[in-house]
Amino acid sequence: MKARVNENCIGCGLCVSTCPQVFEMTDEGVAKAMEGTLPTDVAGAALDAQSGCPVGAIEIE
């Protein structure tokens, strides 16, 4: 699985607080996801962040 934050991000930080192992805030004030494949032990938290995103900015494939 890989995570991506799309252009809909409003910088609320919910994903970072839900799954800081995968998401972080950029200097531009929006979130970004770690590059590469998600570690198995954080995949559930990343999916929680996706479902909690108020603007649907997190894509996980």
* Residue 3 near residue 23, CB atoms below 8 Å: yes
Q: What is the pLDDT of residue 40?
A: 94
Q: What is the pLDDT of residue 27?
A: 98
Q: What domains can be seen in the chain, in order of their start residue? A: 3-60 (3.30.70.20)
pLDDT, mean of each 10-residue run, the chain (61 residues):
98 98 98 96 97 98 94
Q: What is the pLDDT of residue 48?
A: 98
Provide DSSP, 19-47.
-TTTEEE-TTSSEEEPSSPPPGGGHHHHH
Task: Report the distance separating Cα 53 and Cα 61, nearest Å.
Answer: 16
Q: What is the pLDDT of residue 7?
A: 98
pTM score, whole prediction: 0.94
